[in-house]
Chain A
């Protein structure tokens, strides 16, 4: 393919297009309610289009960029502190950028009917969050990264707090404080690293590729990496730092849950892969057993707790903790195969869990309850809805042929060399989700009706949405080749030392 894209600021557009679309809502804020949804949706679709346009660019590396990056933008920003506006896209970023654009679109469609209160604000926040997440996935300057990292919290805080259910305010504040506390310590670590590098070389810079290779005394490096790990592990979320997640998920509106599970959790894993390991390879290697223990504990613990949940959203939230545990395991192993699997699993989990939350949102909207006990015989009432529910639940549980299986398989294969025990235990974690998923499916879809709920079947729009997601699940499950090819070069570069 290879058409010339040098000089065209794709990455800046990716970051600011959603925000600009959101600001377009301001003139029609009080009048023209008919324009709110179309404008926001058009922005999200355009964003997905731009994201997909970046795929062919992968053929040729960008000039002046670090190895593996095919789109690159670099401008001075705050010269006094060596802060630059540096954006870069490699295969890893590309997959997550496309996932972000896609999941945001799903979130928007999922809130199409349920959100009737303060609609333009709702869409403005979703779009602002998309901008923040794009920024996280594209920044190659630590200051810039940190800026986006915190920026994406604010819209989510409002989404949960304004449109949430139950103890929405408690959950919103808990979410914000948990993630902020971790990231503030990371800020201290970033500044310390910047100063160490500056005093050694005389060059004060926040550039990731300037800071990689800084010689930090091992004991200091452990502290600094620990601060990064804490920030990322909270976002991940890894056991035992996960307690904010079930609350946030349960009380968030559907769009919030979809973005939270589909995207925000990925930023933690991404941060660890992009920043944590490359900046502090030795410290990361020292602490990788800890990460592995957290991962495996998370997988087992989350599956166990998920089994006891009566709220569907909470159940899926705990299953997310388990799935992200697999991602953490893959990263902790840091072999090419395991890391590819981990990144692929991030994409898989993004799609499948978004779909699960979207479907639960549909059920909730129809019946007003998410209690599993309230349902029964949904298959008889809404067969199409039930079919897709079953499909995504099976994908989530790791049924071969569907996408999650591929990721889990690669992670386990790749980690086997590193730790037999961890893989053996995680292997149990592959089976456990089947237990609670089958129970969920059985009670929800096939058991006798317990309450006379009226459940209309999927509408055409909803059908279109879930069919697309189901096709993606199937495609990645059966033919993950193109995605893995895309990941090949960044993973090889990242694991250069270990591989």
Chain B
């Protein structure tokens, strides 16, 4: 292991090392304060990933610190840190104790970061499974709630099936081409029937992870059942990591067939996700369907297959991570104070809990794609890329479903602001939670209205 290897792997070492350390030390010094140790670890990992590495590739580790990988490493670390902060009080209130919570979150961040840095299919698979394994635990963490356990079981079953598809697909690809390298994977697979069949399986696995239709059915249940902060993490990390994975594979060229396989899932996700979300009466379930639709837009960007499309997908996954963090962060605060999960119980929250309600409303407007939020800019980039690539029918369907989607986001805003509040008292969030929510809210507006720096970054990273 050389110095360069160590340099490149450092964020991973920080995340995994601190996860293990928390598990070990937590056994001796139990308590909830491990949250802050975890936050420090994620901040350190993010800070390390900001620096430019002396060399991009660490061949002996099959890891690469490309600009895209570093961007996602920073995003995942910071998201994990933010989720740790918003979980703190929620866990106290909900009786989720034990340092394994913090350790598992760090472990998820480790898995996601590994995935975005991988250079072979094998490491990619390991990273993905490391992350998913963490989520199996986190989703079921709230042992006292029946829905949480049910969600955990569902996620485990679905995830195991997806993992099997992925592993089998990778095996077929290896059998067909004799190589596990990511960079040339698609070129190597072109014209090779066994390898292409393998890619079919891999795409099914990916569709599960991205919750693209028709592999989407687990999503609403998990979104509804998991603890709110975990849902934020799941939404930001698992989707972001899968997009990162596609961004490692697709731009390298090769056959267009594989990319075009995403055409129908993109279309169906936008239509089914948005229409099903219209029928929901529970906020979290609605957001679950909304995430299906949002990933449909990302798939639309990927289908267009131009650099503009890839950049748009990367931008949107960053934006989506922030929007989910804001939305579920606000939901964490709201639910912690005893509101149930149906819309009726949320009536008048805009007056009773103005701060979390305001952030939630902002996040919902962003998800609906109203300017000047990141959601709007992201959709603008996606539709520009799609039209440029000639995917005009898909773009038109996308924009019509986007118009439909506004209804269900508005329905929540209506509940928050246009009904009289119940008789519960106003609750004040703690300072660190407020800081996280304010930061995400500001980020939604800033990268929406001033996307130029992020776009320049992406232009350099995805040439």
A residues in contact (CB < 8 Å) with B: 77-81, 118, 143, 146-147, 150-151, 153-154, 157-158, 161-162, 168-169, 172-173, 176-177, 180-181, 184-185, 187-188, 191-192, 194-195
Contacts and interface: CB of A to CB of B under 8 A. Distances in A.
B47 interface: no
Contacts of B407: 173, 177
A118 B354 CA distance: 12
A161 B452 contact: no
A161 B414 contact: yes
A161 B399 contact: no
| The 3 A-B residue pairs with the shortest CB-CB distance in the complex, in nearest-first order | A161-B418, A181-B403, A147-B371
Nearest to B381: A81
Given A80-B455, A161-B417, A180-B403, A195 B410 contact: no
A177 B406 contact: yes
A185 B451 contact: no
Contacts of A80: 452, 455-456, 459
Contacts of B372: 147, 151
Contacts of B399: 184-185, 187-188
A143 B388 CA distance: 17
Contact of A177 (B395, B403, B417): B403
A180 B406 contact: yes
Interface string B372-394: 10001000100110011000000
B380 A187 contact: yes
Given A78-B451, A151-B371, A168-B418, A157 B383 contact: no
B208 interface: no
A184 B370 contact: no
B396 interface: yes
Given A146-B371, A147-B372, A188-B399, A176 B410 contact: yes
A6 B450 CA distance: 27
Contacts of A150: 370-371, 376
* Chain B CB within 10 Å, residue with most, of A118, A147, A194: A147
Nearest to A83: B452
A48 B109 CA distance: 54
Contact of A188 (B365, B370, B387, B406): B387
30 contacts: A78-B450, A78-B451, A78-B455, A80-B452, A80-B455, A80-B459, A81-B455, A146-B371, A147-B372, A147-B376, A151-B371, A158-B417, A168-B418, A172-B418, A173-B410, A173-B414, A177-B403, A177-B407, A177-B410, A180-B403, A181-B400, A184-B399, A184-B402, A185-B399, A187-B383, A188-B387, A188-B395, A191-B380, A195-B387, A195-B388
A190 B450 CA distance: 20
Contacts of A181: 400, 403
Interface string B110-129: 00000000000000000000
Contacts of B410: 157, 173, 176-177
B371 A169 contact: no
B452 A162 contact: no
Given A78-B455, A154-B365, A173-B407, A191 B383 contact: yes
A158 B456 CA distance: 36
A184 B371 contact: no
A158 B362 CA distance: 13
Contact of B384 (A169, A172, A177, A195): A195
A350 to B, nearest CB: 25
A149 B372 CA distance: 11
A167 B455 CA distance: 44
A78 B455 CA distance: 9
Contacts of A188: 383, 387, 395-396, 399
A237 to B, nearest CB: 17
Contacts of A79: 452
Contacts, number: 75
| B contacts with A: majority SS | helix
Contact of B452 (A78, A187, A192, A194): A78
Contacts of A173: 407, 410-411, 414
Contact of A191 (B371, B387, B418): B387
Given A177-B406, A184-B403, A81 B417 contact: no
Chain B interface residue number, banded: 20 to 34
Contacts of B403: 177, 180-181, 184
Given A154-B365, A188-B399, A191-B383, 5 more contacts: A77-B452, A78-B455, A80-B459, A146-B371, A161-B414
A195 B304 CA distance: 15
A154 B361 CA distance: 11
Interface string B435-458: 000000000000000111001100
A253 to B, nearest CB: 13
B371 A81 contact: no
Contacts of A195: 384, 387-388
Nearest to A79: B452
Contacts of B383: 187-188, 191
Contact of A154 (B370, B396, B402, B456): B370
Contacts of A184: 399-400, 402-403
Nearest to B414: A169
A471 B376 CA distance: 44
A78 B403 CA distance: 25
A154 B410 CA distance: 10
Contacts of A194: 384
A20 B218 CA distance: 45
A362 to B, nearest CB: 25
B380 A169 contact: no
Contacts of A187: 380, 383, 399
A212 to B, nearest CB: 20
A158 B414 CA distance: 9
A14 to B, nearest CB: 18
Contacts of B452: 77-80
* Chain A CB within 10 Å, residue with most, of B402, B417, B455, B456: B417
A77 B449 CA distance: 9
Contacts of B402: 184
Given A188-B387, A195-B388, A176 B371 contact: no
A347 to B, nearest CB: 28
Contacts of A168: 418
Nearest to B402: A184
A117 to B, nearest CB: 10
Contacts of B418: 161-162, 168-169, 172
A172 B411 CA distance: 11
Contacts of A158: 417
Interface in B113-158: none
Nearest to B398: A188
A144 to B, nearest CB: 10
Contact of A162 (B417, B456, B459): B417
B395 to A, nearest CB: 6
Contacts of B417: 158, 161-162
* Chain B CB within 10 Å, residue with most, of A150, A153, A168: A150
Nearest to B419: A169
A150 B456 CA distance: 26
* Chain A CB within 10 Å, residue with most, of B365, B380, B402, B450: B380
A172 B414 contact: yes
A80 B377 CA distance: 13
Contacts of B371: 146-147, 150-151
A192 B396 CA distance: 11
B86 to A, nearest CB: 24
Contact of B387 (A157, A180, A192): A192
A169 B348 CA distance: 13
Contacts of A78: 450-452, 455
Given A81-B384, A161-B414, A176 B406 contact: yes
Nearest to A77: B452
